[in-house]
């Protein structure tokens, strides 16, 4: 008996060892063709990915023959929206359920009155392995990666239930649960599908991947196409403090991280976003601001620094600095010529803010 080795397509099945059908949401036109899908593959792909062409109830506008083929050959389950927690600031935290019962969280953030654009903060993993000591997701450890189908499905479910249905108005930030570069194959596959010209209409210009500084993944992503925008969670300016709060720094320290960023080519108008969570008495001194500016060095003109006062939660003992302290830190960076915004995290009143996303399975919080 001859056996053909299964084709390695890690992104298309939730659990390859279970041999389930591939997720319909992670298939590119060429995969549909290779699987024997009837009809023109680009057309079927467009109908799958373009939420604005779906019926109001979420069903697909495709011929009976193609729908029957899809039902038999692909997994059409979208993550379910289990909970919606609207915040006073206009954003909504959502709890999404995967078909195996695991839950992740996403945040829907409209720009404001009269502006059709919306930013989705999405998850890449259930939990996170990196264990940053200020982060609620880190405290729960890693449960599992999301597959590309689940990541694309997360975005399409948000478009269907929360809007907008037009992908051109969607901005995506991978700043929800998980370290996206720890799940690079699936995250990159999802970005490829979402940015396909026949697909949902997203663009790598409007997608930001945020990393805690996983240099091995960063160096791979730098060479990938499409390449999204980069955000780096810096959060400390000495190796001592950074290693104590972000264990990933023990593998790739500040100097190594900075070196990796030199290899991240920036096109015109591109910037690297640095997130800096201010922890009272830990990383919020004026000397920290000086060191941060020095570390940026010649990135001084190609960056934005987001200062994020710590969102306090039960799983971490850190405190948010006093307002004067935040302002003094920002002013000092400004003197050094840095570009800064102070991010009052959205969704704080519903625990939807940075580092507060922690829902693994039904019942846990
Ligand atoms: N793992 C990735 C992306 C998810 S975390 C990363 O670390 O970049 C998204 C952002 O939330 C990161 O910038 C992180 O530093 C920040 N964050 C984590 N815990 C926080 C907290 N308690 N308060 C404010 N921001 C927090
Ligand atoms: Fe993971 Fe990011 Fe939280 Fe660190 S800050 S534990 S990398 S999700």
Residues 264-307 pLDDT 10s: 999 999 999 999 999 999 999 999 999 999 999 999 889 999 99
pLDDT at 136 (0 to 100) = 92
Residue 128 annotated to the active site: no
Statement: residue 365 has pLDDT above 80: no
**Which of 37, 105, 121, 135 is an active site residue?**
105
> To the nearest whole number, what is the mean pLDDT of the chain?
91
308 lines ligand 2 (CB under 6 A): no
Q: Residue 16's pLDDT band (boundaries 50, 70, 90)?
A: very low
pLDDT at 162 (0 to 100) = 96
pLDDT at 178 (0 to 100) = 97
What are the structure tokens assigned to 3, written together?
Answer: 């056996």
pTM here is: 0.93
Ranges for all domains in the chain classified under CATH 3.20.20.70? 77-350
pLDDT at 12 (0 to 100) = 47
pLDDT at 363 (0 to 100) = 39
Q: Average pLDDT in the 87-101 region? A: 93
Q: Average pLDDT in the 81-104 region? A: 94
Question: What CATH number was assigned to the domain covering residues 77-350?
Answer: 3.20.20.70
Statement: residue 150 has pLDDT above 70: yes
Cα–ligand 1 centroid distance for 226 (angstroms): 24
Residue 105 annotated to the active site: yes
Statement: residue 5 has pLDDT above 50: no
Q: Residue 193's pLDDT band (boundaries 50, 70, 90)?
A: very high
pLDDT at 345 (0 to 100) = 65
pLDDT at 315 (0 to 100) = 79
Q: Residue 20's pLDDT band (boundaries 50, 70, 90)?
A: confident
Task: Spell out which residues line ligand 1, taking CB within 6 angstroms.
Answer: 128, 134-135, 175, 179, 210-212, 233, 235, 275, 277, 308, 310-311, 354-355
């Amino acid at each position: 008996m001859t056996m053909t080795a299964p084709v390695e397509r890690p992104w298309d099945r939730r659990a390859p060892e279970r041999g389930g059908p591939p997720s319909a949401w992670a298939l590119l036109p060429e995969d549909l063709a290779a699987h024997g899908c009837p009809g023109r593959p680009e057309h079927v792909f467009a109908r799958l990915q373009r939420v604005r062409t779906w019926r109001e109830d979420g069903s697909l506008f495709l011929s009976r023959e193609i729908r029957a083929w899809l039902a038999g050959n692909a997994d059409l389950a979208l993550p379910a929206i289990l909970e919606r927690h609207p915040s006073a600031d206009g954003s909504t935290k959502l709890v999404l359920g995967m078909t195996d019962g695991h839950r992740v969280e996403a945040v829907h953030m409209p720009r404001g009155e009269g502006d059709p654009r919306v930013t989705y903060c999405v998850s890449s993993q259930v939990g996170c392995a990196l264990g940053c000591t200020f982060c609620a997701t880190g405290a729960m450890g890693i449960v599992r990666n999301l597959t590309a189908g689940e990541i694309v499905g997360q975005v399409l479910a948000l478009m269907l239930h929360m809007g907008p249905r037009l992908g051109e108005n969607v901005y995506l930030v991978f700043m929800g649960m998980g370290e996206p570069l720890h799940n690079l194959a699936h995250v990159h596959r999802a970005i490829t599908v979402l940015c396909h010209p026949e697909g949902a209409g997203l663009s790598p210009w409007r997608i930001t991947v945020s990393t805690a500084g996983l240099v091995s993944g960063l160096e791979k992503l730098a060479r990938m196409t499409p390449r999204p925008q980069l955000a780096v969670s810096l959060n400390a300016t000495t190796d001592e403090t950074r290693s104590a709060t972000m264990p990933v720094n023990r593998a790739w320290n500040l100097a190594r991280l900075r070196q990796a960023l030199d290899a991240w080519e920036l096109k015109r108008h591109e910037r690297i976003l640095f997130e800096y969570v201010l922890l009272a008495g830990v990383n919020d001194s004026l000397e920290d601001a000086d060191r941060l500016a020095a570390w940026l060095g010649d990135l001084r003109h190609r960056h934005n620094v987001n200062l994020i006062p710590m969102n306090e939660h039960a799983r971490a003992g850190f405190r948010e600095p006093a307002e004067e302290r935040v302002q003094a830190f920002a002013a000092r960076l400004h003197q050094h010529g840095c570009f800064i915004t102070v991010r009052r995290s959205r969704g704080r009143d519903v625990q939807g803010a940075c580092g507060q996303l922690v829902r693994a399975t039904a019942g846990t919080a």
